């Protein structure tokens, strides 16, 4: 029996071994079988037949994204057939096999970025393409026929814009179909226009509406205040008027910060801080040309080689957009100026900025206009930035410095001009649409020039001419365009020097102020030479960068030049071409050509304005002649809109001149109209330029007439 049992055990063991070996052989044979070939490249939507899933905040029927049904462009963003994607949401697709993608289109909410990322393994995603914001408002179709992607897994995310994201339809193709995008069934839509007033929470539109209410209320109260003073009843209910106007001034100040909702998502403007923090801290190595190049090279070394290789960036030597291969294939253009330790520090700091920005926004940022403040600002930025690390807490503290120095500037205005001047200045500054928080709020010392020149004017008003001269020199040194604030005082001096051919006729205060400006300017220049870490080369590079900027029209530029170069049939909406490396290339050239055609007229206007200023300044106080220089800036400069807070200086001249005060308030309200019309920036800021030029011309004309009337009659007009 024992032998029999032993035989049975051996047979059983052999049976199971044979079974295991057979299964292994079958499994191995199955495993070694060739994979199913991917389908041929066709013009069919590769999303068809997939079963999409989602992560994060996504609502709607996901298959609606490729159901061949869309809405008419400009339809309301929140319609039944759309898929809404939250800030942390993503729609995922499994194509079942590796698939080439060469073109695509999407109909989605207009003012957001929609990013398509791909993966071969389902875990590591790289950006394939993104669909950029467009105009007008509502659901809008965007196309891309130049995609070079391959993936099995796809991820669709949304970013930027107003945080309200929706997708109506999307198509991705290996072979571009004809017509493209293909025809779809157009669904009926009850709403055809986006109504920002119906969106949840605060937004730019709603804040602007509140600004209009604040402005109208202040105009009414200030006009009543001026009238009561004129009829000799200035003390009637004065305390109540001061409280009411002070409340409105505080609301105007708060409205600049979107009532402390900042950018409605974040109080840190990471785009701006990246440029100014990284640009100044590593200026000895980067100079004015290297920020984007070294960022791209660092991205490649940090594991983002595919993204870096597909990137287009602006080469600031030529101010043109180029494929990133030129720096990736020649890394010495960047790294030769870095020590090994500084390069690792640069990459470490860069990781924080890369981590807080969406991939598509990070890539598109490298096409901006780079780091370009003057060497004196660079010196200041290096010193201040050295106290802050690249952590969220430190960067948040850093960007709040601007808020602090703006408060200090208005405290100086109150000290020098009293409550009337301060309230009017707060209204003009806080409600100013051109320089609203949207652009450079939450950035790094971007208001340092504003603090310096407002402090300088306040000191001049208080007869502190040496200190005032220093701050005016500082403002000019860190931003350049405030040099026009010095034109009036120098005009006053020349009108005494030229007839006498001597400096003796200058008053002691004039000598103190002008001498302080010159000495302080030279001192700041001397400090900046070692302060930048690049010596005189910093100034040579800066001159080159400024020349490029002055010859490059931008859609948010403002000024007389912007106004005269505008043509209704040559606007950005018609000339924008996304197939070019620089989509605005044709638009820019048309602007240059249009301005060249009217340049003699432009120069004639400048001469006329300078002549009128020459005739106006002799009877003004030094601080008034200095503040009056703000009227020259829109005529002689084509500045980006966010610098237009300089117009606050005119409010200080106007606060005791009723005509000028009401003119300032009227222009401030007129600027707010930009939010309610003019979709594309180039049209919007041409209208804003018209308001600004009319304001400057009218202001100087009225002031000239008032001063001449006062001089001839001895009475106020």
- Which DSSP string do the residues of 117-152 spell out, in sequence order? EEESSSS--EEEEEE---SSSSEEEEEES---EEEE
pLDDT at 429: 98
H or E element, residue 601: helix 585-616
The beta-strand segments (E) located in 24-112 are 53-55, 58-59, 69-71, 83-85, 90-101, 103-109
**3 state SS of 457:** helix
- Residues forming beta bridges with residue 99, ordered by sequence position: 151
Task: Tell me the C-alpha distance between 322 and 296, whole Å.
Answer: 12
287 in the Ramachandran plot: left (φ > 0), alpha (ψ -120 to 50) or beta? left
- Is residue 249 domain-shared with residue 361, that is, in the same domain? no
Q: Which token pair is 552? A: 């490059």
For 119, 195, 517, 601, the CA distances from 614, given in Å and listed in that order, are: 67, 49, 20, 20
What is the rounded distance in angstroms from the CA atom of residue 289 to the CA atom of residue 282? 12
Of 129, 62, 123, the closest CA to residue 101 belongs to 129
Residues 525 and 401 in one domain: yes
- Contact partners, residue 659, CB within 8 Å, separation at least 6: 702, 706
Q: Is residue 536 part of a domain?
A: yes
Per the CB < 8 A criterion, the answer to whether 144 and 310 are in contact is no
> In 3-state terms, the chain is what percent helix, strand and coil (to 5)?
60, 10, 30
| 296: its two tokens | 């791209």
Pick from 89, 95, 40: nearest CA to 66: 95
pLDDT score of 171: 95
Clarify whether residues 128 and 220 are in a common domain. Answer: no
Q: How far apart are the first and last CA of the chain?
A: 134
CA 700 – CA 609 distance, rounded (Å): 8
pLDDT, tens digit (0-9, with 9 covering 90-100), for 90-137: 999 999 999 999 999 999 998 788 999 999 998 899 999 988 887 777
Does residue 48 sit within a domain? no
Closest CA to 689 of 678, 702, 700: 678
Enumerate residues 6+ apart whose C-beta is below 8 A from 714.
Answer: none
Task: Give residue 577's pLDDT.
Answer: 86
If asked whether residues 251 and 295 sit together in one domain, one would say no
Quickly list H helices, 196-320: 204-230, 238-256, 270-273, 279-281, 283-286, 291-301, 305-310
> What does the alpha-carbon distance between residue 33 and residue 31 come to, in Å, rounded to a whole number?
6
Statement to judge: residues 354 and 420 lie in one domain:
no
Query: Is 22 a member of any domain?
Result: no
Q: 419 and 563: one domain? A: yes
Instruction: Give Cα separations from 290 to 286, 295, 316, 317, 662 (angstroms).
Output: 4, 8, 8, 9, 47
Last residue of a domain, one of 165, 193, 221: 193
Residue 34 lies in a domain: no
d(CA 675, CA 207): 10
Domain extent, residue 344, equals 289-367
CA 397 vs. chain centroid, Å, equals 20
Nearest to 436 by CA among 163, 236, 203: 203
Q: Strand, coil or helix: what is 477?
A: helix
* Contact indicator for 114, 106 with CB cutoff of 8 Å: yes
3-state class (DSSP) for residue 385: helix
Q: Is residue 220 part of a domain?
A: yes
**One-letter-per-residue 3-state SS of 168-192:** EEEEEECCCCCCCCCCCEEECCCCC
pTM of the model as a whole:
0.77
Q: Hey, is 505 helix, strand or coil?
A: coil
Residues in the chain, pLDDT under 50: 1, 4, 7-8, 11-12, 14-36, 192
pLDDT for 689 equals 98
Task: Take residue 662 and report the two structure tokens written for it.
Answer: 């009401």
Residue 385 resides in a domain: no
Closest CA to 238 of 250, 226, 249: 226
Contact at 8 Å (CB) between 544 and 652?
no
Judge if 415 and 481 occupy the same domain: yes
Sequence-distant (6+) residues with CB within 8 A of 377 are: 280, 445, 448, 477, 478, 479
Which DSSP state fits 192? -
Two structure tokens written together for 259: 């009532």
DSSP-derived 3-state class of residue 515: helix
Rg for the chain (alpha carbons), in Å? 31
Query: In 329-447, which ranges are continuous DSSP H helix?
Result: 332-335, 340-356, 359-365, 375-385, 392-430, 437-440
Q: CA 502 to CA 481: how far, in whole Å?
A: 29
All residues at 6 or more sequence positions from 581 whose CB lies less than 8 Å from its CB, including other chains:
312, 320, 321, 322, 323
Strand partners, 115: 130, 157
- For residue 468, what are its two tokens? 């005032």
Q: Say what the alpha-carbon torsion angle 149, 150, 152, 154 is, to the nearest 10 degrees.
A: -10
Strands 139-144 and 53-55 turn out to be unpaired
**Does residue 571 share a domain with residue 490?**
yes
What is the Cα–Cα distance from 257 to 444, expressed in whole angstroms? 15
Same domain, 179 and 213: no
Reduce the DSSP state of residue 283 to 3 states and report it.
Answer: helix
Sequence length of the chain is: 717
Which CATH number goes with the domain that contains 67? 2.60.120.260
Q: Are residues 258 and 318 in the same domain?
A: no
Choose the final residue of a domain: 169, 193, 217: 193
Evaluate whether 384 touches 404 at the Cβ level (below 8 Å): no
pLDDT value at residue 361:
83
Give the total number of structural domains in the chain: 3
The domain boundary residue, chosen from 367, 386, 413:
367
Residues 705, 601 within the same domain? yes
Distance in angstroms (rounded) separating the CA atoms of residues 465 and 492: 15
Report if residue 673 sits inside a domain: yes
463 in Cβ contact with 623 (< 8 Å): no
Does residue 44 lie in a domain region?
A: no
DSSP string, 651-691: HHHHTT-HHHHHHHHHHHHHHHGGGGS--SHHHHHHHHHHH
Look-up: residue for tokens 């945080």?
163
Do 426 and 491 fall into the same domain? yes
Q: What is the pLDDT of residue 7?
A: 45
Residue 32 is predicted with a pLDDT of 43
Place of tokens 């051109």: 434
Cα 348 from Cα 350, distance rounded (Å): 5
Q: To the nearest 10°, report the CA torsion of 15, 20, 26, 31.
A: 180
């Amino acid at each position: 029996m024992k032998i029999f049992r032993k035989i049975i055990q051996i047979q059983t063991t052999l049976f199971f071994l044979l079974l295991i070996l057979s299964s292994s052989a079958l499994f191995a044979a199955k495993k070694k079988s060739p994979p199913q070939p991917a389908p041929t490249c066709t013009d069919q939507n590769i999303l068809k037949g997939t079963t999409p899933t989602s992560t994060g905040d996504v609502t709607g029927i996901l298959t609606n994204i490729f159901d061949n049904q869309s809405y008419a462009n400009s339809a309301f963003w929140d319609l039944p057939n759309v898929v809404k994607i939250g800030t942390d949401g993503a729609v995922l697709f499994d194509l079942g096999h590796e698939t080439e993608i060469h073109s695509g289109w999407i109909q989605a909410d207009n003012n957001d970025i929609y990013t398509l990322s791909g993966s071969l393994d389902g875990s590591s995603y790289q950006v394939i393409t993104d669909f950029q914001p467009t105009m007008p408002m509502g659901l809008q179709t965007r196309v891309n026929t130049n995609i070079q992607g391959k993936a099995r897994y796809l991820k669709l995310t949304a970013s930027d814009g107003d945080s309200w994201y929706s997708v109506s339809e999307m198509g991705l193709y290996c072979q571009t179909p004809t017509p493209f995008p293909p025809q779809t069934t157009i669904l009926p839509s009850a709403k055809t226009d986006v109504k920002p007033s119906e969106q949840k929470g605060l937004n730019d539109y709603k804040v602007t509406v509140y600004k209009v209410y604040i402005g109208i209320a202040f105009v009414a109260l200030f006009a009543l205040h001026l009238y009561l003073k004129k009829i000799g009843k200035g003390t009637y209910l004065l305390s109540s008027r001061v409280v009411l106007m002070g409340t409105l001034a505080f609301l105007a100040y708060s409205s600049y910060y979107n009532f402390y909702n900042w950018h409605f998502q974040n109080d840190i403007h990471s785009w701006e801080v990246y440029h100014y923090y990284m640009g100044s801290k590593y200026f000895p190595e980067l100079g004015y040309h290297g920020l984007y190049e070294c960022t791209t090279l660092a991205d490649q070394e940090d594991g983002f080689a595919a993204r870096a290789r597909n990137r287009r960036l602006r080469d600031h030597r030529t101010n043109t957009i180029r494929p990133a291969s030129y720096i990736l294939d020649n890394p010495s253009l960047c790294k030769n100026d870095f020590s090994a330790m500084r390069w690792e520090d640069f990459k470490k700091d860069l990781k924080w900025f890369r981590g807080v920005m969406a991939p598509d926004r990070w890539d598109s940022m490298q096409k901006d206009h780079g780091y370009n403040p003057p060497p004196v600002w660079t010196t200041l930025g290096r010193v201040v930035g050295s106290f802050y690390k690249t952590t969220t807490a430190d960067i948040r503290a850093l960007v709040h410095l601007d808020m602090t120095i703006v408060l200090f500037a208005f405290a100086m205005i109150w000290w020098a001009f009293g409550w009337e001047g301060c309230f009017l200045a707060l209204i003009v500054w806080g409600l100013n649409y051109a320089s609203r928080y949207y652009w450079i709020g939450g950035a790094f010392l971007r208001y340092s020039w504003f603090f310096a020149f407002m402090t300088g004017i306040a000191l001049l008003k208080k007869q502190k001419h040496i200190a005032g001269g220093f701050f005016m020199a500082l403002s000019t040194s860190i931003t350049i365009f405030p040099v026009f604030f010095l034109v009036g005082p120098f005009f006053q001096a020349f009108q005494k020097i030229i007839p006498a051919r001597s400096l003796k006729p200058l008053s002691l205060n004039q000598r103190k102020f002008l001498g302080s400006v010159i000495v302080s300017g030279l001192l700041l220049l001397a400090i900046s030479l070692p302060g930048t870490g690049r010596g005189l080369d910093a100034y040579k590079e800066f001159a080159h960068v400024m020349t490029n900027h002055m010859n490059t029209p931008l859609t948010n530029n403002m000024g007389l030049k912007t106004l005269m170069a505008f043509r209704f049939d040559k606007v950005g909406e018609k000339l924008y071409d996304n197939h070019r490396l620089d989509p605005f290339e044709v638009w820019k050239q048309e602007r240059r050509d249009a301005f060249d055609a009217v340049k003699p007229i432009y120069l004639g206007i400048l001469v006329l304005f300078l002549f009128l200023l020459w005739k106006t300044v002799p009877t003004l106080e030094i601080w008034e002649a200095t503040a009056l220089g703000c009227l020259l800036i829109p005529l002689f400069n084509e500045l980006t809109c966010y610098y237009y807070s300089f117009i606050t200086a005119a409010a200080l001249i106007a606060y005791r001149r009723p005509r000028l005060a009401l003119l300032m308030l009227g222009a401030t309200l007129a600027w707010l109209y930009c939010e309610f019309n003019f979709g594309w920036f180039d049209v919007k800021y041409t209208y804003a330029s018209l308001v600004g030029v009319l304001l400057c011309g009218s202001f100087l004309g009225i002031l000239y007439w008032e001063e001449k009337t006062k001089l001839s009659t001895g009475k106020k007009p």
